[in-house]
Structure 1
Amino acid sequence: MDWKIFITYVIIAIKGIESSCRFPAFLQTPSHLGETKPWNTETWWINLKHDVRWLQKQDIFIDGNNLWRHREHSMKRCDRVEKRSVYTKTSFGRCSERELVYNRTCLTNEGYNTYKIIQYNLDRTHKFTCMRFIRRSDNLVQVLEGPLSDTNDPDLCDEDGLVLEEWPWVAKWRKQSYKCPISGGFTFRTISRLTNEDHCESEWRRSTLEVECVVGDGLDFMSPVGSDCNPLIRKGHHKRLACWSGWETDRFIYMVAGEFGEQPKYCLRFPKHMKGEFSVLIYFSVICPEEEDGKPPTGIQYYELRMRRKDEDRCEDDDEEQCKMIEAQGICSKEQQEQYTSHCRKTCGLCQHNNAAKQGCYFDAKIHGSWVLYDLNREEDVQIERRHAVFSKFGKFHCREKGTNENQYKTVTTFRNGCVPRYTCFEFSRRNNNLLSYRASRSLRQDKEMEEICAFHDDPFPLLDTYRSYYFKNLILSGIKNLWPSYCGIDSTIPFNGTFNDETCDGTISDWDADTCRTRVSLTLQSTSCPSLLAPLELQCLAFITYQEEDLQEMIITRSMDGRNEFNCWIISSYIIGSRWPWRVLYKMPTTQCTPLSDVESDEMRRPKAALFLEDKEKRKECKPMENPVTLPRDILTRSTNKPHVVRNDQSHSRDNHQRQGQRDEIDLDNPRVVLDEVESASSTLHSTDVFRIVLGVALVTILRCFTR
């Protein structure tokens, strides 16, 4: 039976099942530009040190209460045709064969992320089982399954019958950063578990692994130059991996990792208790065995790393005899021989206290204070003082050197966990009282010149701009009561049309106060056509800034005043379309980070939550008359009007006001009738507040004259 015909049969069968069961939202596979992005599992990688390729993989698609699983084999001939198979071109230039493994439907929810399942087979029979999902991160889930049964037994989801799959499911399409579950510096030697070969047998210098020294660093595997000790590369000194996920069990700590910019290909298993020398297993596919021996299926490449945590308080040589020979050859005194001296710290006299954190500069007082970083899935407190900047999650950075650019600082971070010091460049910009912008460079293990270290760019996938970025990130002054009123930049009431929270909307945005006839320090969005804005949305303005890095762009930073205290950046982009210039669009970003629109189109998480086209030709500034107008004789009010007065911005209006002001200065106050005549002549153009002031003055003068007579 052709697999497409089978799926059609399955769908018809599913429609006959009455089920309110639905798989959890975090499992649902999204679709973008017509392409559904599946979970991936059982990807069997080979030749990871040179000619990287996979032998087979499986993809899982989940939609509502339905789940499909496909298996794909690589290196098949393109002209080979079989039933139930589809042939596609792989990224390695070969063809692959894909087949349906099973189709399943959720029947009932049996507890937290636990579901009773019906499975439809290719021979039109069906089975029943149970599935439980463990969410390890946004990028990865583990799955427990029960045995297949011919009948829908009530005990299918009993704990004793559920077995954990060794292959996790990975969402390689999710651009979500992850902090490694352990950190610190270690030394190691590499043993192949398949051949029991000691790859460091002829090398006396120990290799080094440093994990998440500064958040976002990932894992750095460093081996002596010229050695074969690095398990990840055939020849070379350094290899860096990014963490995709991690979790703990009763006995082990697991990390799933991959090269920056690529999908994950490794699973590392650390013992939970790391004392003395211990063994770490690294698998060259995303398989994470739980058995004590850690043995994967036959053919999976994996290594044992015999590790020891580095102790900065303990100064020792990697090999005392070899280091004595190094000293005898005078290598300890040569600056260019770090590849040897760093392994002979005791013999070469390198055990003195590290002075990397010696104070060399001070942060400018204008950036001192308590701040908060609001970003995707991350809220972080930041405290900047004279000597250091402390990020509650990113780390502590001591001021080391100030650059020729007065806003740039070289900083150093020191550790007590075996990591060597890290050097990072920060650039700050104080935008206003509420807003401090910054960006951070990559953290280096060696102290470099300012020009070299102060290179700003986003990290590769999956971190992107989470910690380090080319564009500035925004920090908000900590404490709602401490926030200052700020100009909003709209200067009127402007109609708009567009989308807000995926709803089509027509409405207005305004920072204009018709009661006082002036701009406010808050924005109001309202609409009668979309539910999200039926109740006006009030936003406190925190900053209005012209975006220097992008032409024709401005940004507004706001805080919602509806009790949720949601902080956002709004980007006003101007476009040149035909004879209309400019055409302005207001975008609401997910956080206070104003990432340029050109850089967020490929990142679903950072895409704007609203896009409002501003009808600038219809913008207005209306002023209401006084609710309790001054009572004057009828003949004075004959030329007055109750219609709202539209404030004009032209210069003639300003000149008229100035001339009237001069005329009022020349009024004969001894004659109240003259004053009232002046009020009558001006009442049609003056605001009611001006009328009130004039009449009040006349009344006071009259009273004073009565007393003096």
Structure 2
Amino acid sequence: MHNSDAEVFVLNDMTSLRMRVKIAMMETLFIPLLLFALPGLLCQDYCRFPQYMWGRQAGSLNGTWITRTLYSDNLKRASSYQEIVVKRTVIETWSCASNGSSSPCETKELVENMQCLTEEAGGKLRVQIRRDTETWFACIKFWERQEGIVQVEKSVPAAINVDTLCFDKALVRNPWPWMIPSKQSWNYLPFEGGYNFRAFVDGQKKMCRHQWRPSRMESECIRGEGLRFSFPESSCSFFPGSVENIQLYSRGSWEEQGQVFLLLGEAASLPRYTLVYPRDLPNLIETEATLYLHAVTPLSDDFESPDIASLKAVHLQLSKTIDSEVCYDEGPECESFARKGWCTSESWHKYASFCKKSCGLCGFVPSMVSECEFPEAHRGEWLMVASDAIERVAIGAGNIAFSSLGSFICKSKHWSRDLFKMMSVYKNGCRPKFTCLQFRRSGRALLYRMSQSNAMDRSFGLCAFVDDPSPLKDRIRSADYKVLLPKEHAHEGCGLSGWLHVNITYPDGTKCEGSISDWNTKQCTAASELTLENWNCRKDPEKKFTCIVSVDMSADTKVVITQDANKRDSSRRCWLVTTRYNKGRWGTPWLSGYFLDHSQCGANKDFGKVNSGSSEMAVHSVRGNLNRVCENGGSWVRPETSSVGARSTRPFAPTHPSHTPGSNVMAGAVRGDKNAEPKYVASLILIATLCVSSVCAR
């Protein structure tokens, strides 16, 4: 073979090799495109239900909801309910019944299977319904009232799939909302204040006719506290067990046809009650409301339905209390009792104890004047950072004012401990209550905790400190101390003012290398966002935090309150930042930062004994000097990385194809092995088929 022929052969062979490589690369790129596009093409006959219906519940591609929960009288456990399992394209409805056993679902039967067919105008979905051997068609629409609460509208199922099924007038509102059973959040109530009420059942049958003292309903006396019902005696109560006091929390509310529907539930339980009241309730002195003893939200058109008419409901005649005085009458009859001389009769305790104002006993009740003083070190303006808000606290000589929790008057101090009996007086019609507060200093911080409130003055017997039940938990009252940060030492921003090369340590012992910075190189100034970069570990390559406030707790310690900048986690979190010097105060500073469990800085309230084991993440500076390079002053050069107990100093990269299972087929295709190409194509078809069948089934 001549040299020229050999060169041509080599060139042709090289060209052929390049072509085979290009084809193999195109086929390799074709895999994800095929897997992505083919399911959409083959499943195009099916629509999908809204993602919030099936994609929000952690650890599952399905969403589980419950509805139509029925309770037997005086029982807290449900006797029956429906379980709704929502997949991408299919909804299964199951009926559950307990039959009086301890199991929440002793018997379970499939009621119907609903397949999403097509999307229609106005957010409606055309569906096919299978019940046993029958097939029906309908149109459905979902209204997300609140996260975890959905209202459903559906047309009456028909045997023929006709256009009129999706007309607006064909949709019928389901009075039973769907709720996520694992949802444990709570909401602030839409109204606040105190109300006296009389209750009526079975039409106009008045409850508790013989009792002159009215029942009470108080909402959000302390913001976040919920709704409290109180009855003068157990026979007046319409709640299970005839309890005289019950605390309910809001799980969600919305307005519809001029009324507000408020779903209520006890601590750590699903909504069981619905309070329906006019939307202008806060502006009315006298009004009416209805409390359903089931989580149902009927409109006027639903009352003719037999299953709604059979549900127990209580009609409430509400009378708002205007005055917030310490001395008050519990009922309007008190003035008449005083004129009849019943305040001093043999049974005076039946009247005088509840008619202090009319009976002239105001001199024997606590006044609104403070009777004790706080130490000088406690006084001033403070910040208390909760997971969802910042509370501003002003402590004077004998009173405390919280921006949302209300005001407290100091009535007495314990003789040996830092305990204070406080009286809270409200401006919204709630009755005065007594609360115990305890304080402790920790450097510049002031620690405090609050007891449960009580309408009765139990002196220091009030001072039992426990968390509220779920879902409130330690939001207001707590067994642990809460941190008050000194406002005079608070600053905006993150307080770092630069870029720092750091080592990152996680609780499991993993050590990584990276940087932390709040420096804006374009504007050449500190920003209000903290960026943590992880250079050589797989977890958390970059995290961004919005800095809410930074507080200097001492010359060497700083607290920085942050929030996830990407809004994936809305709660506020605490960074504890400490500085040490290797050669006295004038040496190079070395910084350590600890990312703690929540906004209250966890168990590290002494701000000095924190370590990596008690934090979710710790960062330690490699070099003490901050980098403050600006764009107009030169480029920012990242320091060379070095191994700091990490897995590898190289950036993470996927394993080479030749080392992956099944890569011999791909390698054969690249080499031009003709026997490998059919196997390769068959593998693609098999993978795509399995993917399509899996996706379409959901």
Please classify the TM superposition score into its range, dividing by the shorter chain length: 0.5 to 0.7
TM-superposed deviation, 1:362: 4.0
Q: Against the structure 1 CA distance between its residues 439 and 527, is the aligned structure 2 distance closer, same or farther, given a 3 Å change threshold?
A: same
Contact 2:92 2:110 (C-alpha < 8 Å) held by counterparts = no
Instruction: Report Cα offsets for 1:25-52 as digits up to 9, x if no partner.
Output: 37645245x897722211011113xx44
* Structure 1 position 360 matched with structure 2 position 371: yes
- Equivalent residues in 2 for 1:291-310 (5 A)? 291=300, 297-310=308-321
Shift of the alpha carbon at 1:272? 3.7
1:690 corresponds to: none
- TM-fit CA distance, 1:421: 0.5
1:101-120 correspondence to structure 2 within 5 Å: 101-105=112-116, 107-108=118-119, 110=121, 114-120=123-129
Change (3 A) 1:611 1:556: same
Alignment-derived partner of residue 190 in structure 2: 181
Conservation of the 8 A alpha-carbon contact between 2:94 and 2:109 = yes
Equivalent of 1:327 in 299, 321, 343: 343
- C-alpha change, 1:453 and 1:525, in structure 2 (3 Å) is same
The 2-side partners of 1:108 and 1:218 are apart by 40
Q: Is the 8 A contact 1:29 1:61 kept in 2?
A: no
Structure 2: how far apart are the matches of 1:14 and 1:596?
55
Aligned counterpart for 1:440 among listed residues 419, 444, 450: 450
Residue 391 of structure 1 corresponds to which residue in structure 2? 402
1:587-640 CA-partner distances (Å, limit 9, x unpaired): 84574234469xxxxxxxxxx9995589x9xx966899xx9xxxxxxxxxxxxx
Distance in 2, Cα, partners of 1:591 & 1:286: 33
Q: Could you say which residue in structure 2 is the equivalent of 1:422? A: 433
Deviation (angstroms), 1:460: 0.7
Structure 1 CA distance for aligned equivalents of residues 209 and 471 of structure 2: 36
**AA at the equivalent of 2:110:** E
Given that residues 489 and 553 in structure 2 are in contact (C-alpha distance below 8 angstroms), is that contact kept between their aligned partners in structure 1? no
Q: Residues 209 and 566 of structure 1: is their aligned pair in 2 closer, same or farther, counting only changes over 3 Å? A: closer
Alignment of 1:237-276 (within 5 A): 237-273=244-280, 275=284
**Residues 74 and 97 of structure 1 are in contact (CA less than 8 Å); yes or no, is this contact kept in structure 2?**
no
Matching residue of 1:454: 463
2:140 maps to 130
CA shift in 2, pair 1:71/1:420, >3 Å: same
Conservation of the 8 A alpha-carbon contact between 1:261 and 1:462: yes
Q: How does 1:614-653 map to 2 (within 5 A)?
A: none
Q: CA deviation at 1:266?
A: 1.3
The answer to whether residue 513 in structure 2 is matched with residue 507 in structure 1 is yes
Once superposed, what is the RMSD of the aligned Cα atoms?
5.0
CA distance in 1, matches of 2:275, 2:45: 43
Cα distance per residue 1:427-464 (max 9 Å; x no partner): 3445455x5543322122122223x2222211112211
Q: 1:38 aligns with which of 64, 75, 78?
A: 64
Match of 1:25 in 2: 52
Which segment is superposed worse, 138-147 or 476-485? 476-485
- Deviation of 1:291 after TM superposition, in Å, equals 1.2
- Determine if contact 2:501/2:514 at 8 Å carries over to the other structure: no
Q: Is the 8 A contact 1:129 1:149 kept in 2?
A: no
Q: What percent of counterpart residues are identical?
A: 21
| One-letter amino acid of the structure 1 residue matched with residue 187 of structure 2 | Y
2-structure distance, mates of 1:110, 1:557: 49
CA 14–390 in structure 1, closer or farther in 2 if over 3 Å, else same: farther
CA distance in 2, matches of 1:284, 1:305: 13
> Cα–Cα, structure 1 residues 279 and 158, in superposed 2: closer, same or farther, change >3 Å?
same
Aligned to 1:468: 477
SS in structure 2 of the partner of residue 459 of structure 1? coil
- Give 1:568's aligned amino acid: R
AA paired with 2:333?
D
> Does 2:154 match 1:145?
yes
Q: How does 1:595-610 map to 2 (within 5 A)?
A: 595=602
Contact 1:487 1:541 in 2 (8 A): no
In the alignment, is the contact (CA less than 8 A) between 1:128 and 1:151 conserved in 2?
A: no
Bigger shift: residues 527-536 or 215-224: 527-536
In the alignment, residue 134 of structure 1 is paired with which amino acid? E
Select the residue among 212, 219, 225 that pairs with 2:220. 212
Q: Which SS does the other structure have where 2:343 is aligned?
A: helix
Distance 1:481 1:346 in 2: 46
The 1-side partners of 2:224 and 2:67 are apart by 25
**Which blocks of at least 5 consecutive residues in structure 2 are unaligned?**
1-38, 518-528, 578-591, 605-612, 630-639, 642-698
Matched residues, number: 541
CA distance in 1, matches of 2:315, 2:212: 18
Aligned to 1:568: 573
> Does the C-alpha gap of structure 1 residues 267 and 560 become closer, same or farther in structure 2, counting only changes over 3 Å?
closer
For residue 461 of structure 1, give the secondary structure of its aligned residue in structure 2: coil
Whole-Å Cα distance in 2 between the matches of residues 405 and 21 of structure 1? 66
Listed as ranges, the matches of 1:662-673 within 5 Å are: none
What is the DSSP-based 3-state SS (H/G/I as helix, E as strand, rest coil) of the residue aligned with 2:98?
A: strand
CA distance in 2, matches of 1:561, 1:419: 37
String of CA shifts for 1:520-578, please: whole Å, max 9, x gaps.
xx998432245853589898975789xxxxxxxx9975548989999522599xxxxxx
1:377 and 1:429 mapped to 2: Cα distance?
Answer: 24
Rounded to whole Å, the distance in 2 between the matches of 1:350 and 1:27 is 61
Q: Which residue of 2 aligns with 1:318?
A: 333
Measure, in 2, the Cα distance between the counterparts of 1:475 and 1:158. 57
What code does the residue aligned with 1:133 have?
W
User: Cα deviation per residue 1:358-379 (whole Å; 9 max; x = unaligned)?
Assistant: 1223444444555444434444
Q: 1:325 to 1:610 in 2, by over 3 A?
A: same
For 2:47 and 2:375, locate their aligned partners in 1 and report how far apart those are by CA, in whole Å.
Answer: 60
Cα deviation digits, residues 51-104 of structure 1 (max 9, x gap): 44433201223344543332213329xxxxxxxxxxxx7537x83233243334
Paired position in structure 2 for 1:410: 421
In the alignment, the residues of structure 2 paired with residue 52 and residue 117 of structure 1 have an alpha-carbon distance, to the nearest angstrom, of 38
Larger relative helix fraction: 2
CA 1:524–1:200 in 2, change beyond 3 Å: closer, same or farther? closer
- Distance in 2 between the 1:428 and 1:284 partners? 42
Summarize the Cα distance change of 1:157–1:610 in structure 2 as closer, same or farther, 3 Å threshold: farther
2:62 and 2:88 in contact (8 A); partners too: no
How does the TM-score come out when normalised to structure 1? 0.62
1:16 aligns with 2:23: no
Deviation, 1:131, is 0.9
Matched residue SS, 1:75: coil
Distance across 1 between alignment mates of 2:71 and 2:144: 24
From the superposition, tell whether residues 542 and 163 of structure 1 become closer, same or farther in structure 2 (CA, over 3 Å).
Answer: same
2:597–2:615: 8 Å Cα contact kept in structure 1?
no
- Alignment match of 1:91 (pick from 88, 91, 103): 103
